Every structure is written in structure tokens, then in C-alpha cells.
Amino acid sequence: MTLYVWGRPRHFPALPAPAVRYFDVAPGARVMAHCHWQTSPAKHPTLVVLHGLEGSSSAPYMLGIADKAWTRGFNVVRVNQRNCGGTEHLSDSLYHSGLTNDPDVIMRELIEVDGLRAIGLAGYSLGGNLSLKLAGEYGEHAPREFRSVVAVSPTMELAVCVEALERRDNWIYQWNFVRNLKRRMRRKARAWPGKFPLDALPSVRTVREFDERFTAPHHGFRDAADYYHRASAARVIAQVRVPTLIVTSQDDPFVPTAPFRDPAVAKNPSVTVMLTPHGGHCGFFTAERDGYDGYWAEQTVVDWTERHTKTENVERRTTNEIERGE
């Protein structure tokens, strides 16, 4: 399922061309997003979407969600993580799986500058971990405009995911991730001469080795194990208070299901887990019919977000706030 969905060509003729938007998320760090705005954006709910490891705003699932959400009346903001989507030159730093600063800054700008009143956050894989972690870090103090989260195949407990990735039968995924990570580091070094030494890069064979030699030291973690522990949403999932949906499968090749059965998840009334027998990693494909393309996880993202960010609620809330002088 995973490889089939990853490799299947897709087209989105109904999705309008995006507007490019840059967000200054930290000193020396800028990220690029592709935005699809409805007429009068503040009168519509907004879906912010985060991609997975070594993905980009142009990943097929990012476009698939955008296409479905746009049709349902959403503004859509497809975010590139730092350095992703050909943006290595925009930031003097790397990204990591728990870097919630960036989506936090983006959402706050959309609220404070754009006046958006209802925002849902959705993430796939690494982006799912980021979405859950941000919601947990907010806890009781989330911006009131932040209405919902959907995490698809989230790497919520990074250590067990990396351990699963190292199984022999997952060599193709490991190879693909490492190949892309190494390519990105070479591009990064060319964009910032002298700042990112690559001496250790040729010997890297696994994601763990890459994180040990590059990600962890760059971000001030003691080592890869420390990084995995501190960057995992599992540390704060019990504190999530916005309506949150986790979509994951029993046959995901490198996201084990045990973390989703943990009491911190199971006993949190704000978190719903949809655990399916099949779906692989970010796959979740079923039969096409009557104009429906079969990508039901994407449809579920939009359904859940719409439930908690309905347009009429946005307009009603805006009117009430004006009447109260807010």
C-alpha cells in the first residue's frame, strides 16, 4: 500500500495556482508556503498542512488535501519545513522532527496579521508529530482560533519509529530517506559555504547515523537518543486540549501502534485514534468511484477539520467579537 500510493501519479486541475508566502520564523530562518486563498479569506476556515521527512509542499498528499479542502471552502496553507521545497538558501539552520516553533509562528501570523478566525492543523508522518507536539505544548493555552488537529501516520514516538525503520525488511525506506537527507545536506553546504561541514556524510548509512552526526549536534541535543526523546509528541500528548484525530494503520512499516495505545493517548478525551488494519505509511487508499479519488485519509482530514472549523461558526464568531468590541 505504501509504495503503491507513494508512486502513483496524480493531477489536480481544479486546484488554483498558489500564492507564495514567506514567514520569518526565527532570526536567520525563513520558510516558504504555498497558499490558496478563498475570496475574503477571513470569512473562511483555514487548513495549515505540514509534510513529512524530506517532503515538501508539493508532495502529492499535500496537493490532494489542498484540492479537497479548497473545494469545501477552505483557505489552504501548504508549508515547507525549513530547507524543504528548494529553500535551503532561506535559512541558516536545519529542521528537525520536533521544531514546533515554525508552525507556531506561522499560525500566529495568520491570526494576528491576516485576521483568520478558525485554523485547523494537519500533518503527515513527521508533520503529524509536529502537529501533535504543538497542540500538546499549547495545552490549555492554545490560541482560540486554533480549532483542530489531524495527524496521519504520525511518528509520535521517534525512537520506536527509527528502530522499526532499521529492520531488514524496511531497507528500501531507510535507503530512500538517507539518500534524500544526504542530497539535502550537500545542497545546504553549497548554499552556505563553510557552515555545514560534510566530512561525516559519506559514512552515514541510516537515519539514526544522520541524526547522530548532524541533526542532534546542530540543535543542541546530547545525541540522537536525546533528540528522539525530547522531540517526540508522546512527551506532551496528554496535554492536548483541542479536538485531535490520529489516523494510523496496523501495517505501517515503521510507525508501530503501541504508542497510540498508551494511556496518555487513550485516556485523553480530546484525542481520537482511528487505527485501521491496512493503510501502510500515509497510504490509505480505497476504490475510486463517482469522482472520488479513493484517498480517504485526505478526505478524513478535511471532514474532521470542517467539523471543528465550519464557515458559519467563523462568521458568527467574528460578528460576536465585533459586538463585544474585541
pLDDT values of the chain reduced to their tens digit, one per residue, 326 residues: 555 555 667 888 889 999 999 999 999 999 999 999 999 999 999 999 999 999 999 999 999 999 999 999 999 999 999 999 999 999 999 999 999 999 999 999 999 999 999 999 999 999 999 999 999 999 999 999 999 999 999 999 999 999 999 999 999 999 999 999 999 999 999 999 999 999 999 999 999 999 999 999 999 999 999 999 999 999 999 999 999 999 999 999 999 999 999 999 999 999 999 999 999 999 888 877 777 888 999 999 999 999 999 754 444 444 333 333 33
- pLDDT score of 284: 85
Domains of the chain, start order: 2-156+233-323 (3.40.50.1820)
Distance CA 89, CA 78 (A): 19
pTM of the model: 0.92
Strand pairing partners for 248? 275
- pLDDT score of 323: 35
Task: Sheet containing 244-249: give its strands across.
Answer: 19-26, 29-36, 75-79, 46-50, 119-124, 146-152, 244-249, 271-276
Q: Which residues contact 195 (CB under 8 A, 6 or more apart)?
A: 92, 189
What are the φ and ψ backbone dihedral angles of 35, each rounded to 5 degrees?
-115, 140
What is the β-pairing status of strands 29-36 and 146-152?
unpaired
Distance CA 52, CA 291 (A): 27
